Structure 1
Amino acid sequence: MDNRPACNAYSVYSTHLFVFNQVSLSAMSQNAFEQLGLTPRETLLYQTLLKLGPSSIRDIAEHSGVNRGSAYESLKQLQSKGVVSYFPKGKRRFFSAESPDILLDLAEEKRQRLDKTIESLKNTIIPNLHQQQPDYHQTNVRYYEGDDGIEWVLRDILNVVSDQDHKEYCVFSSKPIRPYLYRPFPNYTKQRIKLGINVKVIALGDGGEDAELSERKWIKTEGAVDASYIAIYPPKCAIISLASNNFPSAVVLESQDIAKAQQIIFDTLWKML
């Protein structure tokens, strides 16, 4: 016959139930706690205190499974963040969890700090960093391959041009490239029109679709034309071509000087056609 008091069995059961609920909540919410600056251990101790109520470091360590030294250091961090408070009780120090509503206050404070940081970046820090750059212009060159790479380039064109006051870019395009160009981004033209972006196209060879917010002129060619597509969207130029087995590849040059030179060539040729 088991002569142990019934309350011990209940205590064991309630402890296990608490641990289960605690782990479940941590699994669902740890990312949110981390965004607020709380470590997994701090989150565990906060949840432990919410369950226990005001408790000594000994009880907190016992129920959380964290050793006393580590628990005490983490509780001091929680206290500095305003999530936990303490009060003396006899010769011992008892800790107490603040209401969960404090988490919203932490989030709001963090959002306000982030807003101020963004404002400072826009108005002061980034302009000052630009001024520290040397006068000469470096060319940033990036290479992309496959459908994913081509889609990235097309999206980059839309992103860059949509942020400009004069929403327009220019293109040299040959007929063989067209079946492969928009394959990874079939609604590209719709997105361009939706963003109010104009495009001027000098087509090498026949073909090409008519679409809103676009102008097209042609250069007649004799014989076969290689697959190529050159987009001029200052401060960048993108060159897309087909390698063996019609494998698409692209090079993006980021240089204000190169983009301006290409724009002059395009504009001069456009007037002549």
Structure 2
Amino acid sequence: MDISILKKIGFSDKTAIIYLTLLQLGPSSVRALAAKAQLNRGTTYDALKWLQEQGVVNYFHKDTRQYFVAEAPEKLQTMAASRKQEIHDVEKTLTTIIPELKSLYDRGGEKPVARYFEGKKGVHQILDDVLQTTAKDKERLYRIYSAVNIREHLYQAYENYNEVRVKKKVKVKAIAIGEGGQLHGLDERKWISARGGSQTYILIYLGKTGYISIDAEKKPFGVVIENRGVYETQKIIFDELWKKL
């Protein structure tokens, strides 16, 4: 029998082997069980102790010997329900400690963190992070330098991006390097004429700066730098340039 389903509710390889062997043998002594499972007695005792704690194995005495017996398999459903409740309790606890963990995380904010992303999936992750992060910003606005040579790769990675952005009420200011680009709602666009355009799409959003480009094989990749200082500098440069266009 495939023991992977048992492992998903907390069994280890050895506890699963002991449990299944006990189901097969019926009431058994530790010696007989260890021999059949091909495990030493110490390991067998430890496994049985854990199985008893989970309520799927019990024991009784006959004459002077101790025998172990597996409970009805339906007990596994009770065990699974208990695990589910434990996970629910952990989720509730995490909700209460996330602010504390976030505080610790933010203290390290002065140290730049750079994350690398590859392919369409990576670009999609960056764009999704832009929306999720900006939605938490009071301004609900991010800034971009839009590159005509890169733009198509963004929409291939996230076809309904602007639809999702507008639905989330996230605004964007775009300085387009080169021709093209269109408005989709909650956006403003200005242009810089540049021969050949730019090879990098830059996103400036709450504490982060993202860069999306294409490699020699025309595959998209991106880098996100998470640092308040870098973000503020890029934001100032963008806003000053925006005023002059």
TM-score bracket for this pair, using the shorter chain length: 0.7 to 0.9
Counterparts of residues 112-261 of structure 1 (less than 5 Å): 112-124=85-97, 127=100, 130-131=103-104, 134=107, 137-162=110-135, 167-211=140-184, 213-244=185-216, 246-261=218-233
**SS at 1:210's partner residue?**
coil
Inter-partner Cα distance in structure 2 for 1:200 and 1:182: 17
Would you say how many aligned residue pairs link Structure 1 and Structure 2?
245
Structure 1 window deviating more from structure 2 (191-200 vs 88-97): it is 191-200
Amino acid paired to 1:205: G
TM-score relative to the length of structure 1: 0.73
Which of 22, 30, 33 pairs up with 1:57?
Answer: 30
Structure 1 window deviating more from structure 2 (180-189 vs 93-102): it is 180-189
Contact conserved, 2:145 with 2:175, CA < 8 A, in 1?
Answer: yes
TM-score relative to the length of structure 2: 0.80
Q: Which residue of 2 aligns with 1:87?
A: 60
1:79, distance to aligned residue in structure 2 (A): 1.9
1:159, distance to aligned residue in structure 2 (A): 3.6
Inter-partner Cα distance in structure 2 for 1:187 and 1:132: 32
Amino acid paired to 2:190: W
Inter-partner Cα distance in structure 1 for 2:77 and 2:243: 61
1:96, distance to aligned residue in structure 2 (A): 1.6
Q: Indicate the RMSD between aligned Cα atoms, in angstroms.
A: 3.1
Q: Which residue of 2 aligns with 1:96?
A: 69
Higher RCO (C-alpha 8 Å, min separation 6) = 2
**SS at 2:209's partner residue?**
strand
1:195, distance to aligned residue in structure 2 (A): 4.2
Percent of paired sites with the same residue: 33
1:158-198, Cα deviation, whole Å (9 max, x unpaired):
34334556543221112222233333333433443454433
Unpaired stretches in structure 1, ≥5 consecutive residues: 1-22
Contact conserved, 2:27 with 2:70, CA < 8 A, in 1?
Answer: yes
Which runs of 4 or more aligned residues in structure 1 lie more than 6 Å from their structure 2 counterparts after TM superposition? none
1:126-182, Cα deviation, whole Å (9 max, x unpaired):
516735875771111223344444333223323433455654322111222223333
Amino acid paired to 1:221: S
Contact conserved, 1:231 with 1:239, CA < 8 A, in 2?
Answer: yes
Contact conserved, 1:205 with 1:218, CA < 8 A, in 2?
Answer: no
Q: Which residue of 2 aligns with 1:40?
A: 13
Contact conserved, 2:169 with 2:186, CA < 8 A, in 1?
Answer: no
Amino acid paired to 2:233: A
Compared CA separation, residues 119 and 69, structure 1 to 2 (3 A): closer
Amino acid paired to 1:252: V
Q: Which residue of 2 aligns with 1:15?
A: none
Compared CA separation, residues 34 and 142, structure 1 to 2 (3 A): same
Which of 260, 265, 270 pairs up with 2:237?
Answer: 265
Structure 1 window deviating more from structure 2 (197-206 vs 53-62): it is 53-62
1:69, distance to aligned residue in structure 2 (A): 4.6
Contact conserved, 1:236 with 1:259, CA < 8 A, in 2?
Answer: yes
Compared CA separation, residues 31 and 210, structure 1 to 2 (3 A): same
Contact conserved, 2:22 with 2:28, CA < 8 A, in 1?
Answer: yes
Inter-partner Cα distance in structure 2 for 1:261 and 1:198: 20
